[in-house]
Amino acid sequence: MANADAAKEYGVNSALETLPTAMYLFGMGSGALFAGPLSETFGRNPVYLTSTFGYIFFVLGSALKPNFGGHVACRYLVGLFASGTLGSNGSSVQDQFSFVGRTFAFPVIAWANVAAPVIAPIAGGWIIDNDKLGWHWTEWVTLIISGTAFLISFLFLPETYLPKLLDWKAAHLRRLTNDQRYVSQHSRNLKQKSFGQRLRSRLSLPLKFIHTEPVITVLGVYLILLYTLLFTFMSGFDQIFRRAYNLSAGQTGACFGTIAAGATSFMFAVPGLYLGARRKAHLTKDATLEPEFRLYPGFLAGPLLPAALFWLGWTDVGRIPMWSVLGACFLFGLVLMALYTSSYGYIVDSYGTHAASALSAITMLRYIIAGGMAMGTRPLFTLPGFGVQWTMTVLGGVAVLLAPAPFVFWKMGPRLRRRSLFAVSPRPGPGEKE
């Protein structure tokens, strides 16, 4: 919401309005390469707390009044340090919950990841509309929220990575017994290699996943499309609402609430998915199911994604009431949440102990490419003869091609995991040997 005002204040071309958003996404993508592997080496908490501490300082840099180059650089570094949390939070869910428990817990984390970027512009729009505040206050409010979250995490967030917990337990037993034989496997592995060797080996994992894992490649493309759409919406709402319906910045920001409402409405389906998981697991708390169970929301959401995009594109005209476009945004929010939960849940269950590296790979892909696409698609909204209608039509056409992906993984997933070097081996199918 602040991009246009920031560009105006710094006297830069309107074509560069989306550059701060794109640089934030590039920072998220490049940082995600490190987040997962580092959390598997040092534990989740050191990554969360260290990265958030750095993130707060660069939000402060954005809130102060640098030149445009300084503002863009701060936005990149904000994204770089923010990736410490987004790159590992799915793995923290896996650390703490069984398969059945993750059915309920992961959508809560996914909701925070999906809804927050579309709730923030609601406040941002009204802040910008207030002459006494201005766009810098979008950064100050972010700083206040982030600082509070950091303090709460620093005081109360527990470590969840099991190998790290076993390191601590072994160290405690050594102190109690003075017996140096108590050493965890994780600690033993760390001693066999230098820090540089460990880091190189861990950082290469996400790149290997992109190279060798079809699950990561295809779901990565799906999530790239979703995040391209999300951040295209964020940069294109001026065209979709503000100019088409002559709305103020505050009213335009409030329109993002329909996407958040759609994402929130998916949560009503979560108890049903949880009960379904429990029944399929024969009401056993610690039972496991095949990762394909996570694909159920995607079966319905896949075909609805192009429907939402075509609906939005071809009813975004002044003579059609704005409620139609808001309905399309609501459906997009619902679909976004369903596909995000389905894709991430499938990856976490498929890759087990390697889930952090798998999530790093897919996070890196989606943010770097979405950053480039957010810049590339923004001019399409204002291109004569193209506009909102054809921009959404092109993106909807891509969504049509990707709609069968959940069905393909339902059929091919076990075979792909069996061939993978990193995935959890599936149970044999009918007629197959153990």
Q: Where are the domains of the chain?
A: 3-179+202-417
Q: Which of 187-196, 216-225, 226-235, 404-413 has the highest mean pLDDT?
A: 404-413
Cα separation, 212 vs 79, in Å, equals 27
Check residue 145 and give its pLDDT: 92
Check residue 433 and give its pLDDT: 44
- pTM, two decimals, is 0.80
Cα separation, 316 vs 339, in Å, equals 24
CA angle 263, 267, 270 (to 5 degrees): 140
Alpha helices in 352-386 (DSSP H): 355-382
Residue 237 makes CB contacts below 8 A (sequence gap 6+) with 121, 252, 255, 256
Residue range 291-340, pLDDT digits in tens: 888 888 888 888 998 998 888 888 866 677 888 888 988 998 999 899 88
Check residue 432 and give its pLDDT: 41
More confident residue, 293 or 173: 173
Q: Is the pLDDT of residue 50 over 70?
A: yes
Give how far the C-alpha of residue 374 lies from the chain's centroid of Cα atoms, to the nearest Å.
16
* Among the listed residues 177, 146, 167, the one whose alpha carbon sits nearest the alpha carbon of residue 81: 146
Given a contact cutoff of 8 angstroms between Cβ atoms, the answer to whether 330 and 323 are in contact is no
Amino acid type, 347: I
* Among the listed residues 337, 336, 352, 350, the one whose alpha carbon sits nearest the alpha carbon of residue 416: 350
Q: Is the pLDDT of residue 42 over 60?
A: yes
Across the range 144-154, mean pLDDT stands at 93
More confident residue, 40 or 25: 25
Write down the residue that tokens 């994204």 correspond to: 79
Alpha helices in 64-88 (DSSP H): 68-86
Q: Is the pLDDT of residue 278 over 80?
A: no
Which has the minimum average pLDDT: 26-35, 82-91, 174-183, 379-388? 379-388
| Tokens (6 digits) for 105 | 């817990």
Q: What dotted CATH number matches 3-179+202-417? A: 1.20.1250.20
The greatest distance separating any two alpha carbons of the chain, rounded to the nearest whole angstrom, comes to 80
Burial of 416 (0-12, 13-18, 19+ CB in 10 A): middle
Q: Is the pLDDT of residue 90 over 90?
A: no
| Tokens (6 digits) for 353 | 């102990």
Check residue 89 and give its pLDDT: 79
Q: Is the pLDDT of residue 37 over 70?
A: yes
Q: Which of 14-23, 33-42, 303-312, 349-358 has the highest mean pLDDT?
A: 303-312
Mean pLDDT (the chain) is 80
* Among the listed residues 227, 314, 274, the one whose alpha carbon sits nearest the alpha carbon of residue 99: 274
Cα separation, 358 vs 380, in Å, equals 33
**Phi, psi (degrees; rounded to nearest 5) at 207:** -65, -35
Indicate the helix (H) or strand (E) that contains 180: none
